[in-house]
Amino acid sequence: MSQAVRVLEPTSLWNHFADLNEIPRASKKEERVIQFMVDFGAKLDLETKVDEVGNVIIKKPASPGYENRQVVVLQSHLDMVHQKNADTNFDFDTEGIKMLVENDWVKADGTTLGADNGIGVATIMAVLASKEMKHPAIEALFTIDEETGMTGALGLKGGLLDGTILLNLDTEDDDELTIGCAGGIDVTAEGYVPMMETPANTTGYKVSVKGLTGGHSGMDIHKGRANANKLMNRILMECSACSNLFVSSIDGGGLRNAIPRESFSIIAVGNDSLSKFETCINDFEKTLFAEYKITDPNFEVNVEKIETPKAIVQPDFLFKLLRVIHVTQNGIYRMSPDIHDLVQTSNNVARVLVEDEKYTIMCLTRSSVDSEKDDLKNALSSGFELLGAKINVGGSYPGWEPKPDAPIIKMMTDLYEEMFDGSPNVNACHAGLECGILGTNYPAMDMISFGPNIRGAHSPDEKVQISSVQKYWKYFTEVLERIPTKDN
C-alpha cells in the first residue's frame, strides 16, 4: 500500500516516512524504532548515540560554507498513538501502517497514520541523508514516549546538545509558528467496586456508543466534540431514572491524549421495565444526536440483547459512581485572558473502566498556568475522594513560556511572509509539546515549532495533506539556509 506514497514529492521525505511506518512504535514500546534510527545513523556514518532513557541523537556536520552558522537541533518524537476502529483487524505490535492516498491527503486504512510525529521524523531523516541540502551543523534529537508521559524529554540531560536553536517539527497547521504550549498532569482514580448477584427476571444488554469524531485532547478540546465516556454516563443515568437498570461493566476510551470515541457497557434491565428502557434509550439517542450532529455526525448508540450478566454493581455504589463521573470536569475549564482564542486549562476524561470489582477513571489535565493546572487537579481529586478512590497523580510536565522577541522567530516570520505573501499565525497552543521540558536543561536555547497540515491526530481519521507537506518542506529547507551566524 505504501508504494503510492513513495512516489509523492518530496520523494526523500515520503520514502523515509514509508520506511518509518513499517516499524511498530507504540509509546513505551520503542525498542524497534530506536534500533531503526541507530542503524540509519550508522549507515550514513554519522555520530549516533542513544542516551540512558532511549532518546536517539544523530549529529551531522555543516554543509561547506555554513560552518559559522549556529548549530540547530532538529527534534521530533519517535512514538505514535495506536488507535483503530473497532471493526478494523490490525495488530499494531506486528504490522506496519497501511497507507492510502486519497486526493490531496495521505491516510491509513482504519488506524492512526503516525503523521504525528512521523512526518517530523521523516523530515529530519531526509536532511541527514541528503548530500545536496545546504544547512548548518545539525543535531537530530529523536525523543521517545512523547504521547504517554514525555519521559524521553524529561530524561534528556543537559550537556548532550550544543545547539542554540531548536526546531520542533510537531505542529499541525502549516500557517502556524508555535512559540509556547501547555503543561499537563495525569490524574487517575481507582477503587473497589462492590458487586452482587444479578436479580432474577432481568434481561442482559450490551450498550455501545460509537462513531464519535474523537481527536487530540489538547489541540481539539475546544471544538466541542463528544466524549464517549461522558455520553455513556449520561445514557446510564437517564435510563436508570426511567427503568429498573443495573450495570455489570463499563469500558470506554483509551489513551489520555485522545478524546474517547467509543464506550461499551454491559447491563441488565428488569423484565417489568423493558419497554420503558427501550423507549428511553431510543429517545435519548435522538437528544444526544441533536446536541452533537455538527461535531459528531456519525454518532450512534447500539443496543443488543445478550446473555444476562451474572453479577452487577451494587445499586447504592452505582448511584455514587455515575454521579461522580457526571460532575467530573471535561473539556475547557478556562480560556486564556491574555491570548485570544487560546484554551488555558482543560481536562479530558480519557478512560472509564468498571470490571472485576474495580473501577479506574483516567484524566489528562492541561494548562499553560501551573497554578491553575494544580487547582483543576485538586478539584478532580476532591470529587474522586468523595467516592473513596485512591488518587494517583503523575506524569507532570511544564508548559513552554513564549519568547516572542527571539531572533529565530522574527527570521522565520519574515521568511514566511516573503515566501507565501501572508503572515503566519504566531501563537501558543494547548497541546503538550516537548519544548517546555527540553528548555529546563537548555534554557538558553531558542525554540519554535511548526509542521504541515495534519487532521484527526490520535484517531483513525488521522491524515496529512500532500500539498501542505510540499509547502512545509520548501519553507523548512529555506529556514535551514537562513540560520544566522554564531555571532548574531
Whole-number Cα distances in Å, 229 to 84, 92, 135, 199, 315: 17, 24, 48, 26, 20
Angle 31-43/115-129 helices, nearest 10 degrees?
20
Contact by Cβ (8 Å): 363, 381? no
**Angle formed at CA 438 by CA 435 and CA 441, multiple of 5 degrees:** 145
Contact by Cβ (8 Å): 269, 277? yes
Residues in the chain, overall count: 488
CA distance 377 to 168: 28
Q: Which residues contact 147 (CB under 8 A, 6 or more apart)?
A: 27, 77, 79, 80, 81, 255, 257
> Phi and psi at residue 284, in whole multiples of 5°?
-70, -30
Q: Which residues are catalytic?
A: 79, 146
In this structure, the dihedral spanned by the alpha carbons of residues 16, 17, 18 and 23, taken in order and rounded to 10 degrees, is: 100
Contact by Cβ (8 Å): 19, 43? no
CA distance 351 to 363: 7
The closest of 93, 126, 95 to 16, measured between CA atoms, is 126
H/E segment holding residue 317? helix 315-327
CA distance 18 to 280: 49
Cell of 475: 519553507
H/E segment holding residue 17? helix 11-20
H/E segment holding residue 346? strand 343-355
* Residue that has been written with the C-alpha cell 499553560 in this structure: 368
CA distance 68 to 413: 23
The closest of 228, 249, 231 to 359, measured between CA atoms, is 249
CA distance 195 to 208: 22
My answer on whether omega of the bond before 392 falls inside 30° of 0, hence cis, is no
Would you put residue 136 in left (φ > 0), alpha (ψ -120 to 50) or beta? beta
165, burial (CB in 10 Å: exposed 0-12, middle 13-18, buried 19+): buried
Contact by Cβ (8 Å): 137, 71? yes
